[in-house]
Amino acid sequence: MVPVIELEGLGVRFWQRNILQDLRCTLSGRAIGLLGPNGAGKSTLINTLLGFYPVAAGTARVFGYDIRTQTMQIRSLTGYMPETDCFIAHMTAVSFVRMMAELSGLPSSAALERAHEALFYVGLGEARYRKLGTYSLGMKQLAKLAQAIAHGPKLIILDEPTNGLDPPARQRMIRLIHEMRDSRELQILLCSHLLRDVEETCDEVLILKDGRQVHYANLEEERRTNKRFLELETVGDDGGFAEAVENLGCACAVTSGKRMKIVLPESFVMRDLYRLAEARNVQIRRMNYRRDSLEDIFLKAMENSNGRS
């Protein structure tokens, strides 16, 4: 797959401070997650890829274009949804998205069509003819998303897209992002603090801390491996279930209340577990193979970097 973003020793300095140092990575997934604690440099990286900050060392490429010399080409191919509020209060949503699409190179009539399509796609119905200054927070976020996709970019950069949204609006935003990812027409760079969202959306993750790269994880691969643990939640267990499981040859740890974690031996067969459950009249309400979740990966990466620095 053609790499979306290639970081080749990228470094950025501001007032004598190294904000980003020596980032080296090749990212080519359909959806890429960018994680890190506050101040790690995620926004700086995004701003540098868009050409807002000058590069102090190394370089980076987006779709093969060098960010130092081919900024305009990169900007033609990307759409950006910033974290902060971004709008022009006196314009209607349609005018706003249309102007942004025209600035990205679309001819005026095509821009109008695509503005309407984008606004329809994100779910802004009649409200599109109202001024942006009258919009609620959720609607402003949707308008921001619409302007990011109206010109049909190949890569969209979403910075905390669900910030401040209430649960139904959050669900809608996540669903839209998944749909766009699955349409295979573009690729996504998602920057968020909510690990669950990143886990559900992205197949690759880059973790930054203090301007350095501390971990790169390919979630697709992680999901395919690692079936050696089992997590269970039971109802109706009078206490002996864990012991009985251990008699099967598994090491068993009860985590909290009704939840337990089981280490599986080579010879394990699921049927045996269910036979036990039937015999003891225990309901297995929840059961899944455990693999490192993104939260574990993230916490491990933070610990490792603490150890190193």
Give the footprint of other proteins on residues 215-274 (CB under 8 A): 235-236, 270-271, 274
Collect all residues with Cβ–Cβ distance below 8 Å to 238 and sequence separation of at least 6: 280
Question: Which residue of 24, 26, 64, 120 would you call a contact of other proteins, by CB under 8 A?
Answer: 120
For 22-70, where are the alpha helices, taking DSSP H only?
42-49
Count of all residues that appear for the chain in the document? 309
| Distance of alpha carbon 218 from alpha carbon 251, whole angstroms | 29
Collect all residues with Cβ–Cβ distance below 8 Å to 292 and sequence separation of at least 6: 222, 226, 300
Residue whose CB is less far from other proteins, 24 or 90: 90
Instruction: Tell me if 112 contacts other proteins by CB under 8 A.
Output: no
Question: Which residue of 9, 14, 249, 304 would you call a contact of other proteins, by CB under 8 A?
Answer: 14
Residues 126-145 that bind other proteins (CB under 8 A): 126-127, 136-139, 142
Phi and psi at 226, nearest 5°, equal 65, 70
Residue whose CB is less far from other proteins, 247 or 271: 271
Question: Which residue of 23, 67, 191, 277 would you call a contact of other proteins, by CB under 8 A?
Answer: 277
Query: Angle, nearest 10°, between helix axes 167-182 and 137-149?
Result: 10
Residues 153-182 that bind other proteins (CB under 8 A): 153-154, 163-172, 179-180
Q: How far is the CB of 195 from other proteins (least distance, A)?
A: 5
| Distance of alpha carbon 81 from alpha carbon 161, whole angstroms | 7
The identity of residue 135, as a single letter, is Y
Q: How far is the CB of 240 from other proteins (least distance, A)?
A: 16
Neighbouring C-beta atoms of residue 103, cutoff 10 Å: 12
Question: Which residue of 84, 247, 256, 267 would you call a contact of other proteins, by CB under 8 A?
Answer: 84
Q: How far is the CB of 112 from other proteins (least distance, A)?
A: 13
Residues 18-37 that bind other proteins (CB under 8 A): 35-37
| Distance of alpha carbon 190 from alpha carbon 156, whole angstroms | 8
**For residue 302, how far is the Cα from the chain centroid?**
18
Options 58-66, 186-194, 216-224, 260-268: segment touching other proteins (CB under 8 A): 186-194
Residue whose CB is less far from other proteins, 139 or 252: 139
